Amino acid sequence: MKIKKSFLVGFASLLIMSTALAGCGGSKNNGATETGKPSETAASPDSDSGPNIAGDFEVQYCVGGYGDAWQKSIIAQFKEKYPDVNIKESAGPKINDQMKPRWIQGDPPDLVFIDCAGGLDVLQAIKDNQLMDLTEWFSTATNADGESIKASLIAQPQVYDGKIYSIPYVFGSWGTFYDQALFKQNNWEVPTDFESFLAVSEKIKASGISPYIHAGAYPGYLEGGLLFPAIVSNNGNDPSILQDMAAMKPDVFKSEAVMKALQQVVIMRDRGFIDKAAIALNHTDSQIQFVQHKAAFVPNGLWVENEMKNDTPAGFEFGMIPSITQQPGGKYVANPYSSPVAIAQKAKNPEAAKAFIQFMYTKKSAVEWAELTGAILNVKADLDGTKASSLSVSASKYYSSPDLVVLPAVSFNADLQKEIDNATLALTDNKITPEQWVDRVEKASVKASSKK
């Protein structure tokens, strides 16, 4: 009896599910017409010279690592200049998730700072027509002090199909970090190219320290700090290859520059310079190993000094090399990391949004940003005497040097990025060859680009 009952219960649950499945066939059409309904046309975003900045204006920003002091201050100053504007701040640590339904429903804020977890994926948002085309406006836009915004930026905006939809506002940079004190103490030379990097790594290894560690759980660190600059170095310092990679141009991953860069990784791997444990570490773990002198170099970003403030032993002096893969005498390659700001395609007050962008890209607000967050705003400004971290200040001087190639902001299709991550990790772990890396990534690129 009991057996039959239990089987019956199982069968009944299957039945319920199958009726559920059958039922949804009917609901399909209704739903389709409902969501497929053409949305109301957005207000025309043209005519940018209208001086009348007034009305409701909504800004979305997350309160994350940089806090919200800068936004609060800039918004207050903006309000002072344009008293007729009624500003609504949609902000908080989880604001990206909270605002998502509004982006889906086509009721976005006017201006959005894209940062923090769950933030808008710029490529996807462009595909979905959610961001305003700023190309024309940006080419001539001036900031509140009358200077060209374009000329004042450290890193230029990413170009998608010849158009600009977002402007980077945070300027961070990937690079290879080391402890200047440790190097002085051991008489190790700071590498200036790949050969000297290999030579000093040999010495470091002989002393019992791992030469190079990275965050295997997040391969983006290794790519940002090592692989992508290496590809550009091997491409005769021409960064357009990165843009071609992001644009998924056919055969770009099969190019010689990519292969040479991968081989540099393989050389490091085969000589035992990459810490074997790195592959299982997240960024915090790898940084702890680094500040504890278990490893000498780590690919990371300018934020690392602030991030490790509480765990760094006394006497540790952060140093940064923009890139380590160039040939002797070659230029350094700096790979910037940025968070962009954008205007929604359906912004109800695009004029105010543009005015706000003009207002925030000034030297004065760059200094204010540095003082309030310790990081660098994407505006060339003299930061001497400000409260930006010393590493940031010294690095910011690098970026105006002519011996440095600053890469454009580039972001990859999410599927392609995932495959690059997986293949790169497998390469460092000796699971695949550079040829297999190229094969896998090229395939992923073809697949992703075929989807619209």
Partner 1 sequence: MTAKRTRTLFIASFILPTLILYCIFTLYPILRALYISLFDWSGSSENMDYVGLGNFREMFADPIIYKAIGNDYFLVFWKVIGIMLLATFFAVALTRFKMRGAQFYRVVFFFPNVLSIVVIAVLWRFIYNPSFGLLNGILSFVLQRKVEIPWLGDSDYSIWALLPPAIWAGIGFFMILLIAAIKSIPLPLYESAEIDGATQWKQFVHITLPLIWEQVRVSVVLIVISSLNGSFAIVNVMTEGGPDNSTQVLGYYLYQMGFKQYHMGYASAIGVLILIVSLLTTVILQRLMKREVVEVS
Q: What residues line the site for partner 1 (CB under 8 A)?
A: 2-3, 6-7, 10-11, 13-14, 17, 20-21, 23-24, 27-28, 31-32, 35-36, 39, 100, 103-106, 118, 120-121, 124-125, 127-130, 216-217, 276-281, 285, 289, 294, 414-415, 418, 421-423, 425-426, 429, 431
Helices 363-373, 69-81: axis angle to 10 degrees equals 150
Residue 165 contacts residue 131 (beta carbons within 8 Å): yes
Q: 288 or 410: whose CB is closer to partner 1?
A: 288
Alpha carbons 167 and 157: distance in angstroms, whole number: 5
Q: Both tokens of residue 74?
A: 């800039």
In total, the chain counts a number of residues equal to 452
Provide the minimum distance between the beta carbon of 31 and partner 1 in the complex, in angstroms, as a whole number: 5
Provide the minimum distance between the beta carbon of 24 and partner 1 in the complex, in angstroms, as a whole number: 4
Q: 187 or 451: whose CB is closer to partner 1?
A: 451
Q: 17 or 76: whose CB is closer to partner 1?
A: 17
Provide the minimum distance between the beta carbon of 154 and partner 1 in the complex, in angstroms, as a whole number: 29
Q: 216 or 340: whose CB is closer to partner 1?
A: 216
Provide the minimum distance between the beta carbon of 338 and partner 1 in the complex, in angstroms, as a whole number: 20
Residue type, 74: I
Helices 69-81, 350-360: axis angle to 10 degrees equals 120
Alpha carbons 409 and 337: distance in angstroms, whole number: 7
Provide the minimum distance between the beta carbon of 285 and partner 1 in the complex, in angstroms, as a whole number: 7
Alpha helix stretches (DSSP H) within 53-179 = 69-81, 95-104, 122-127, 135-140, 149-152
Provide the minimum distance between the beta carbon of 277 and partner 1 in the complex, in angstroms, as a whole number: 3
Q: 39 or 187: whose CB is closer to partner 1?
A: 39
Provide the minimum distance between the beta carbon of 343 and partner 1 in the complex, in angstroms, as a whole number: 16
Q: Both tokens of residue 108?
A: 């976005």
Q: Torsion-angle region of residue 106: left (phi > 0), alpha (psi -120 to 50) or beta? A: left
Q: 173 or 289: whose CB is closer to partner 1?
A: 289
SS3 60: strand
Q: 54 or 414: whose CB is closer to partner 1?
A: 414
Closest CA to 358 of 114, 148, 72: 148
| Residue 446, burial from CB neighbour count under 10 angstroms (0-12, 13-18, 19+) | middle
Residue type, 96: N
Residue 176 neighbours by CB under 8 Å, 6+ apart: 225, 226, 297, 298, 299, 300, 320, 321, 322, 323, 324
Q: 269 or 363: whose CB is closer to partner 1?
A: 269
Provide the minimum distance between the beta carbon of 232 and partner 1 in the complex, in angstroms, as a whole number: 25
